[in-house]
């Protein structure tokens, strides 16, 4: 028995709809009189419906079979949407159709435009849906999928950046992705990040193919780091916070000195993420032209997909910039320190600074400090 569903927002995109439903499904145009489309401030979050006399929302009506509906419900629950029954007009008359809308947050909303969403977010949304609804992921709990939803979109953005970036090969071989042959791909764990366990073969240096090998890794999104530097006072800002990695390793002190850092959210550029994280973690209002690229690098490519865009940021750093900040929604408790460049290098030399991006940024600053200070 089929179920009529009314699509009026992101799933008007045919590739995203097919990724969610698992296949292309026949549709017909549907209209919802007396309503308008609206959205939250973040265009990526998709559309909602609001009653508005004289309004008219055009969408698509699809009759879904149980397996298709199950995939749709799984995806919509991960997105935090709820079902609502609506009376929709279509060629066959008025039908009762199911639609998926966000819960009423009471927040002010604005008009939502499909074309604007499509231009910015369609590509990542399709990749994220494929990841969320892979054969392994569908066996994860709704809570796990809900937690993974935002990270899947961030990871999708990372995939698109990776595929668009240049791949210089002046020393390494000019390898391509078809020099790897995946044979079995699984995701046994997916929450804040995912664990990939893949069987694959890769091209050897003599041109032959390797035997099938099993590799496991952490699937994460791209991230940014920012080391704020005041060239007039010759001081930097570090942040300090508890980190799980040292705890799991058995370290006696699990609080880490670091640059400002955070993941690149869906729809963000690395620069936008750097500016946002500086404000959230250190209450610094930075500007794009004062961000100086240090290096773009994988911190541990043997098992982690995370890719770091690292910056030094020129800014004014009074001692009053010290304090405690962070997002309560993420249980962040982050303390800021303003200290001299010489003190920073002492921390690196003694091993008190053990964060890789901080050490790299400190050495970059050591190489460029005289130029930045105008000496």
Average pLDDT for 176-182? 97
Q: In a 3-state reduction of DSSP, which class is residue 350?
A: helix
Residue with tokens 């090998």: 213
Convert the pLDDT of each residue in 249-262 to its tens digit. Answer: 999 999 999 999 99
- Give 15's contacts (C-beta < 8 A, 6+ positions apart): 122, 126
Comparing CA positions, the residue from 200, 202, 271, 282 lying closest to residue 238 is 282
Domains in the chain with CATH codes: 3-102+111-132 (3.10.490.10), 140-165+180-219 (no CATH), 223-373 (3.90.79.10)
Q: Highest mean pLDDT range out of 24-38, 43-57, 112-126, 337-351?
A: 337-351
Helix (H), strand (E) at residue 21: helix 14-21
Average pLDDT for 346-350? 98
pTM (2 decimals)? 0.88
Alpha helices for the chain (secondary structure H): 14-21, 66-78, 114-132, 142-164, 244-249, 270-282, 341-350, 356-373
Convert the pLDDT of each residue in 53-76 to its tens digit. Answer: 989 999 999 999 999 999 999 999
Q: Which of 115, 289, 328, 330 is catalytic?
A: 330
Q: Average pLDDT over the chain, rounded to whole?
A: 91
330 is catalytic: yes
Q: In a 3-state reduction of DSSP, which class is residue 324?
A: strand
């Amino acid at each position: 028995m089929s179920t009529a569903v009314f699509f009026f927002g992101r799933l008007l995109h045919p590739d995203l709809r097919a990724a969610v439903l698992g296949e292309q499904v026949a549709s017909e145009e549907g209209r919802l009189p007396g309503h308008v489309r609206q959205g939250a401030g973040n265009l990526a979050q998709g559309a909602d419906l609001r009653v508005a006399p004289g309004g008219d929302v055009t969408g698509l009506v699809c009759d879904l079979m149980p397996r298709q509906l199950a995939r749709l419900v799984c995806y919509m629950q991960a997105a935090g949407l709820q079902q609502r029954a609506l009376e929709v007009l279509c060629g066959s008359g008025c039908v009762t159709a199911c639609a998926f809308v966000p819960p009423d947050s009471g927040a002010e909303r604005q008009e939502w435009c499909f074309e604007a969403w499509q231009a910015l977010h369609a590509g990542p949304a399709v990749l994220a849906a494929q990841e969320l609804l892979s054969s392994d992921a569908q066996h994860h709990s709704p809570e796990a999928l809900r937690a993974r939803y935002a990270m899947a979109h961030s990871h999708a953005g990372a995939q698109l950046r990776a595929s668009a970036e240049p791949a210089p090969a002046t020393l390494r071989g000019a390898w391509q992705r078809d020099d790897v042959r995946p044979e079995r791909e699984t995701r046994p764990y997916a929450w804040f990040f995912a664990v990939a366990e893949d069987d694959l073969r890769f091209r050897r240096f003599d041109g032959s193919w390797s035997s099938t090998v099993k590799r496991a890794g952490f699937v994460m999104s791209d991230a940014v780091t920012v080391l704020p530097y005041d060239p007039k006072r010759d001081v930097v800002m570090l942040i300090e916070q508890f980190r799980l990695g040292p705890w799991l390793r058995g370290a006696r002190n699990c609080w880490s000195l670091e640059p400002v850092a955070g993941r690149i959210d869906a729809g963000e550029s690395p620069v936008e993420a750097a500016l946002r994280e500086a404000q959230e973690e250190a209450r610094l209002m930075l500007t794009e032209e004062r961000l100086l690229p240090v290096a773009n690098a994988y911190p541990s490519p043997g098992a982690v997909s995370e890719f770091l865009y690292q910056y030094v940021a020129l800014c004014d750093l009074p001692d009053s910039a010290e304090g405690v900040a962070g997002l309560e929604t993420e249980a962040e408790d982050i303390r800021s320190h303003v200290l001299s460049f010489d003190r920073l290098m002492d921390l690196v030399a003694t091993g008190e600074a053990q964060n890789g991006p901080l050490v790299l940024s400190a050495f970059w600053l050591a190489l460029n400090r005289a130029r930045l200070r105008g000496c």
